[in-house]
Amino acid sequence: MALKYLIDENVDPIYTIQLRRLKPDLFVVAVGDLTTPQKGTLDPEIWVWYEENDCILVTNNRKSMPVHLADHVAQKHHVPGIFILNPKLSFGENLEQLLLIAEGSFDNEYQDRIEFLPLF
């Protein structure tokens, strides 16, 4: 199965646009898209959605993600993973990381994990 990304609503929409443009076969949706939770949806609901839809969450939220993940796993749930963008990297560098990860990842490689970019 190919990697799928759910882009958090607080991430600049240019990430969604450029990921779709540069890799059209990559499944990329953003919170607020037609088939995803609406913007403003509480995190626990988003977590259930992205678990059910097997998407890795791409976010810039470094503060609350570890707490949310611990709570979610404690309730016997799992998530495909979380990638946290690096504010010290340029937009292009973060984007390149997401593209490289999509190309070279294994199924379930990031399950129940938070990964801070860059991975490589």
| pLDDT tens per residue, range 39-83 | 999 888 888 898 999 999 999 988 888 888 888 888 898 999 999
Q: How many Å separate Cα 4 from the centre of its chain?
A: 8
Name the token pair of 8. Answer: 């958090």
Asked if residue 22 is part of any domain, the answer here is no
pLDDT of residue 1: 55
Residue holding tokens 């801070």?
116
Domain span at 52:
27-116
In this prediction the pTM is 0.93
| Structural domain count, the chain | 1
Residue 20 lies in a domain: no
**Does 15 fall in a domain?**
no
When pLDDT is averaged across residues 26-33 and rounded to a whole number, the result is 97
Question: For the chain, how many residues are written?
Answer: 120
Yes or no: say if 49 and 37 are a contact pair by the CB < 8 Å rule: yes
Q: What percent of the chain has pLDDT over 70?
A: 99
Residue 43 · residue 58 · CB < 8 Å: no
Residue 96 has pLDDT above 80, yes or no: yes
What average pLDDT does the segment 89-98 reach?
A: 97
Residue 82 in domain: yes
